Chain A
Amino acid sequence: MIYLQLFWTFFKIGLFTIGGGMAMIPLIQNAVVIDHGWITQELFIDFIGIAESTPGPMAINIGTFIGYELGGILGVLITTLGLFLPSFIIIFTIYKLSSNFMKKPAIKDMFLGLQPTVVALITSALVMVSIAACTFTSSSGVVSFNWFGVVLAIACFLVMQFAKKVHPIIIIIASAGIGILFYGFIL
């Protein structure tokens, strides 16, 4: 049954994300963390970090990870098949029909509604991610505010805005190092 659920979940993710990459995060979060509770919010964020610093499309990376955690190699095949099928069917159909399909006015109009919505969905995912990233949960379940998490996030963002040539992987590796240094030895 888990295989059927995995397939259906990732098929829907593949079918309903437009814009790829970060636009997939709200859908994956909604399905995997909130609806099914397959992984925790913290592990999900950790995995966004890993997916960003390993090669390949992010959705495939996250799909593979969750498939492997829940169903081993067969789970991986099923989640990637789920992500792959909608893309493949839609693109192949468009290829067969006409490449001018996307220029139809109705399709253009659709994006008037979709563009701001994609931004809104990622923003709501950011709210959830920020809550998990800027709090500590102790083993007894007490939640406390992590001020250093906020400071580090702002610092990373400023680097991305003002030093655009710095690759995200370098920022991720540096923040891992700073994390060990600060949380391990200073705090």
Chain B
Amino acid sequence: MKTPKTNANIEKKSIKEQAKLLCQLFLIFFKIGAFTFGGGYAMISLIEKEISEKRKWVDDKEMLNILAIAESTPGVIALNSATYVGAKVGGFFGALVSSIAVMLPSIVIIIFLSRIITQFQTNQYVKWAFLGIRSAVVALILNAIFKLVKGVKKTFFSLIVFVIALTLAILSSFEIIPINIIWIIIAAALTGIIYGYFGRKNNKNTINIDEDKEINKTEEEDK
């Protein structure tokens, strides 16, 4: 009996309230876009704080679910989480407003910086500075790889997939074989599905329980 009532209440929200909610969403995600350095993962803690701790729009459990979805669906993580939270709080327009707001600061800052960069590109000091930054970027990417490796289950299967994908990707980068890396990604997803399907078929009950346990373990370790 209670649910239809609350539903009716949501629909009856006046235009004024709706507009206020959208404004709030815009401001929150604009702030998140403007003040998080280092992309997606850095944003997640800020989103959690603003949306579930401060405003209680989403409870903790659902927040975790949203973040899992944002991380494992294609696209920019920050955009994914903004879209989902926005949709949850304010429907279609909520999703639209939140995702635009989270991109806007980046766009403005980078347009401004692009002008400066192209002007100073020939400056000798800027060249030297960027030679130094390139080394830092190598370290940053290596660091990201180290972090990612920790999250991958180390099985014989994942090792083989890694070696094949790496070989194909390098051959494609040096333009030795004409393969777009998008095909490598699609093939990997299909391989995973086939491997998982037959893996489950072969050892029906015992393995499933073990797998669930392992997943729980890794989740706990992550925390």
Contacts and interface: CB of A to CB of B under 8 A. Distances in A.
Interface in A114-139: 114-130, 132-134
- Contact-size category for A: 35 or more
Interface string B46-83: 00000000000000001001101111111111111001
A117 B185 contact: yes
A145 interface: no
Interface in A79-131: 80, 83-84, 86-88, 90-92, 94-95, 99, 101-102, 105-130
Given A60-B107, A112-B158, A50 B117 contact: yes
A45 B137 CA distance: 7
B193 A110 contact: yes
A176 B132 contact: yes
Contacts of A133: 134-135, 137-138
Contacts, number: 384
B19 interface: no
Interface residues of B, number: 104
Interface in A43-67: 45-46, 48-61, 64-65
Contacts of B162: 116-117, 119-120
A38 interface: no
B68 to A, nearest CB: 6
Interface in A15-60: 15-22, 24-27, 29-30, 34-35, 42, 45-46, 48-60
B173 interface: yes
Nearest to B130: A46
Interface stretch (B9-17, B20-28, B34-42): B34-42
Main secondary structure of the interface of A (DSSP, over half): helix
A116 B158 contact: yes
Contacts of A169: 37-38
B39 A117 contact: no
B134 to A, nearest CB: 4
B136 A153 contact: yes
Nearest to B211: A108
A61 B106 CA distance: 6
A154 B106 CA distance: 30
A182 B196 contact: no
Interface of A: 12, 14-22, 24-27, 29-30, 34-35, 42, 45-46, 48-61, 64-65, 68-69, 73, 76, 80, 83-84, 86-88, 90-92, 94-95, 99, 101-102, 105-130, 132-134, 146, 149-150, 152-154, 156-157, 159-161, 167-169, 171-172, 174-180, 182-184
20 contacts: A30-B173, A57-B33, A57-B106, A61-B106, A69-B114, A83-B79, A88-B83, A94-B73, A99-B66, A102-B72, A106-B196, A113-B195, A114-B189, A116-B159, A120-B165, A120-B169, A123-B145, A123-B169, A174-B136, A176-B132
* Interchain residue pairs A-B with the least CB separation, the first 5: A179-B132, A109-B196, A113-B192, A56-B106, A87-B75
